[in-house]
A = this chain, B = another copy of it.
Amino acid sequence: MSQFSRGSAGSPDRMVVPDLPDLPDATVSRLPEYLRALHQLAQAGQDTVSSEALAAAAGVKSAKVRKDLSQLGSYGTRGVGYDVALLIDQIQRVLGLTQCRNVALIGVGNLGHALAGYGGFANRGFRIGALVDADPARVGERLGDVVVTHIDDLPATVAAERIAIGVIATPAVAAQAVADRLVAAGVTSILNFAPCVLTVPAGVDVRNVDLAIELQILSFHEHRRGRGEPVGAPLPPLPKVVGS
C-alpha cells in the first residue's frame, strides 16, 4: 500500500492530479486489456472476478494481474476476488477515461477513412472530433457527423474541438510536418500510423503503429519454424523507392 508516492514532494509547478501513482509502463499497457476483459465479464453478468479468471480473459498469468491491480490500491477482497464494476471504475479513473477524449485524425486517405468509420472508439472513451487533410479537394467532405477541415486551420480546430490526441494517418513523407503542426497547436499526445520515426520535443508522447513491422515480426517466427522460404516471385529488386 505504498502508492501515491509522487504526492507533493518536489516543486509543485504544475498541478498533478492528487492520487495518481506513477505506474510501471508494462502495467499501464495492460490496464486497457483488463478493462476490455472486465467489460466483457460485466456484460456476461459477472459481479465479481478472481485474478485467475480475469487473467484468463485477458490472456496473461494471474500473478501478473494481482501485481498490476495492487498498484492501483487494494480493490480486491481476499477469498472472493474483485468487484467488476468497481474495478472498471478505478481503471477508467487511472487511465483518465472518466470523460470522453477528443481525437483529431490527420490524413483522410485510405486508412484515415477506415479509422473514421471504425465504431470501436466511441465505446472506449474516444470521439473523433476533427478530420483534417492537406488536400483542398477533401476539405468539406463529411464523414459521419464530422466535416473535413484544412490542415492550415489546425490551431483553430484543436482549440474549438478541445483535441487531446492527434492521430497521424498520412503518408510517411508528410508525417513529420504534421507532427510539428500538432505540437505547435498544443497537442501533446500523438498516435502515428506512418512508417517513420517522429522527432518531437520533450513532454510530447508518441506511440507508433506500423502494420508492416507486425507482419515482419510474424515472418521471423514463421521463418524459424522452418516454414522456410515461402513462394512468390524472388522479391523484386526493391525499386529503390521504399521509405513509405
Known A110-B114, A197-B57; judge A213-B164 contact (CB<8 A). no
Bound Cα distance A230, B127 (Å): 12
Residues of B within 8 A of A125 (CB): 212, 215-216, 219, 235
Interface residues of A in 82-114 (CB under 8 A from B): 94-103, 110-111, 113-114
User: Interface size class for chain A?
Assistant: 35 or more
Q: How far is the CA of A98 from the CA of B97 in the complex (A)?
A: 44
Task: Point out the residues of chain B lying under 8 angstroms from A126, CB to CB.
Answer: 212, 215
Which stretch from A32-40, A63-71, A176-184 is at the chain B interface?
Answer: A32-40
Determine if B211 and A207 form an interchain contact, defined as CB atoms under 8 angstroms apart.
Answer: no
Residue among A28, A219, A233 with max Cβ neighbours from chain B (10 Å): A219
- Closest B residue to A114 by CB, please name it: B114
| Other A-B pairs beyond A16-B226, A207-B217, 7, CB < 8 Å | A17-B228, A101-B215, A103-B215, A164-B227, A190-B218, A191-B218, A205-B218
State the 10 A-B residue pairs at the shortest beta-carbon distance, nearest first: A96-B223, A114-B114, A100-B232, A39-B242, A32-B216, A59-B197, A189-B218, A32-B213, A124-B212, A162-B231
27 pairs across A/B with beta carbons < 8 Å?
A14-B226, A15-B226, A15-B228, A17-B226, A17-B228, A28-B217, A28-B220, A29-B213, A31-B220, A32-B213, A36-B195, A43-B240, A57-B197, A96-B224, A97-B219, A97-B235, A111-B114, A119-B244, A120-B211, A123-B239, A125-B212, A165-B219, A188-B225, A191-B214, A191-B215, A205-B221, A207-B214
